[in-house]
Structure 1
Amino acid sequence: MKPTFLKACAVAALALTIASSASAHRAWMLPSSFTLSGENQWVTVDGAISNNLFYPNHHAMNLDTVTVFGPDGKPVEAQNKASGKYRSVFDVALEKEGTYRISSGGAGYMASWEEGGERKRWRGNAETLKSEAIEAKPGVQVSGNVRRIETFVTLGSPTTTVFATEGTGLELKPVTHPNDVFAGEEVTFQLLMDGKPAAGIEVDIIRGSDRYRNSEDGLKLTTDATGTIKFTPEEAGAYWLSTDSEGKGMLNGKEIQVRSSYVFTFEALPL
């Protein structure tokens, strides 16, 4: 039996869903096209953190950590970067045939401690953690985070080189190619955590333009022992996949909490 996108079945449940949707801030990147053909092609990518999917109404995405990799695995320049109040935008020239990976995110640390009767909070990378001697603060609590926001665009025939994983945090290892998804056909994705199957984590999948629906019609899945999920998108359109996981990590010989998150935007084409 194929999974289906959930329908609200009671007034109370519907009200709860709408309230939750209205208060949630979701990060995303959305390319102007997911699949293209021909020569001298470009895509424009929007990035935002919003209450409604693909409708910028909260905060523009920070473009400092945006990276693009071409079908050969080599970096590609993100051009014409600009940020407004609610939306950021940049262009990518598709000069080679194949699949491009467009990402934002990275790894960092958060810390909190008491100083002079006040609660201090800090956020930064490994270099500033060391240079500012954050670990030496009395009673300091340090935690880590690894976040990724991604989308994939293909010119011509799909390729797989850009799906090479780094082995840190949550990562996508597609079984179904992200640019080969069709409404009404089963899709299989695998998620990895620190290079190993991310078993037993919850995954949310929501079709975009939820602003114009009375409910999210979202699908909540749990990865199996191999970190795999299977689902069937019922309608064509752009979709948003999100998951996160709490785990343990090491920092200078000490065990710390590490939170990893992964967000992925893809398109289901009509058959």
Structure 2
Amino acid sequence: MPRILLAAIAIAIAFPLPAFAHKFWLLPSQTSLSGNEPWVTVDAAVSNDLFYFNHFPLRLENLTITAPDGSEVEAQNAATLRYRSVFDVALEQDGTYRIAIPFAGLFGTWEENGQRRRWRGSVETFEKEVPGDAKNLRVSESMSRVETFVTNGAPTNEALKTSGKGLELVAKTHPNDLYAGEEARFQLLVDGKPQAGLEVEVMKGGTRYRNTQDEMKLTTDSNGEISVHWSAPGMYWLEATHSDDKTSVPQASSRRLTYVATFEVLPQ
């Protein structure tokens, strides 16, 4: 894949565009299964239209798949194509799997010989690639997480545990127990603590085939929670962002946190 494409994807993941522009997502072929060692296929993409791959593939270097017992399993048949990445997951255990692509990095700007320089990379490469005497250096930190959930048999909760780092979701209603006409309750945490006043956007897939986005704009309450009413069955996308100055690296003065998830809502 061309380096310019890889760089564009990394930048987009670290610094998400407005909700009406590019969206990041993982889309499983189905989320609730039963049987003897079933499989799911997952698409991973950055798109203009929700769940329609027409922009960039989502890179899989940081892909993590957490099994129902909390262990990590490997993706099968992974490939990155022109507009999407794709991989299979063998559901050898009963219970809920968490499929996620986390990202963490730094963005820096400074002046050099009268011109503005920009840099994006990891904490590990910062000191090697950014001059120690950089003039007017400004550094920001970015942490994001794109994920989805798949259950074989009865839903379980072991794989849903949070890490206490960045922006995370606590599913008060199990993510694979969602039905049209009902409500789900979710809690958003920042560094393990409930985050009040957080803006959350929820949108049904298929935006390519309707004239409006039809998004739901919600705000977390004093306990960091939201209630989502599912008006119709289908695949849904949720995004939340948060900015503050509570960086985890001394070089950065600000940080941006992003959380994205895909849910399947089933008919009654």
Q: TM-score, normalised by structure 2?
A: 0.90
The aligned counterpart of 1:78 is 75
Distance 1:88 1:202, change over 3 A: same
2:139 to 122, 142, 153: 142
Amino acid at match of 1:207: K
Q: Distance in 2 between matches of 1:128 and 1:263?
A: 26
The aligned counterpart of 1:267 is 264
1:157 to 154, 168, 181: 154
Q: How far is the alpha carbon of 1:133 from its aligned partner?
A: 4.7
Q: What pairs with 1:110-129 in structure 2 (closer than 5 Å)?
A: 110-129=107-126
Q: What pairs with 1:34-113 in structure 2 (closer than 5 Å)?
A: 34-113=31-110
Tell me if structure 1 keeps the 8 A contact 2:37–2:93.
Answer: no
The aligned counterpart of 1:198 is 195
The aligned counterpart of 1:14 is none
Q: What pairs with 1:13-28 in structure 2 (closer than 5 Å)?
A: 24-28=21-25
Distance 1:255 1:125, change over 3 A: closer
Q: Which runs of 5+ in 1 are unaligned?
A: 1-19
Q: How far is the alpha carbon of 1:164 from its aligned partner?
A: 1.2
Distance 1:136 1:60, change over 3 A: same
Tell me if structure 2 keeps the 8 A contact 1:111–1:134.
Answer: no
Report Cα offsets for 1:169-214 as digits up to 9, x if no partner.
1101110000000000111000101111111011000000111111
Tell me if structure 1 keeps the 8 A contact 2:32–2:153.
Answer: yes
Q: Distance in 2 between matches of 1:76 and 1:196?
A: 28
Q: Name which of structure 1's ranges 146-155 and 132-141 shifts more when overlaid on structure 2.
A: 132-141
Q: Distance in 2 between matches of 1:213 and 1:168?
A: 37
The aligned counterpart of 1:5 is none
**Percent identity at matched positions?**
50
Tell me if structure 2 keeps the 8 A contact 1:207–1:239.
Answer: yes
Q: Name which of structure 1's ranges 253-262 and 201-210 shifts more when overlaid on structure 2.
A: 253-262
Amino acid at match of 1:152: F
Aligned residue pair count: 252
Q: Distance in 2 between matches of 1:215 and 1:21?
A: 16
Q: Which runs of 5+ in 2 are unaligned?
A: 1-16
Tell me if structure 1 keeps the 8 A contact 2:106–2:252.
Answer: no
Q: Distance in 1 between matches of 2:70 and 2:18?
A: 36
Tell me if structure 2 keeps the 8 A contact 1:80–1:91.
Answer: yes
2:174 to 163, 177, 197: 177
Amino acid at match of 1:214: N
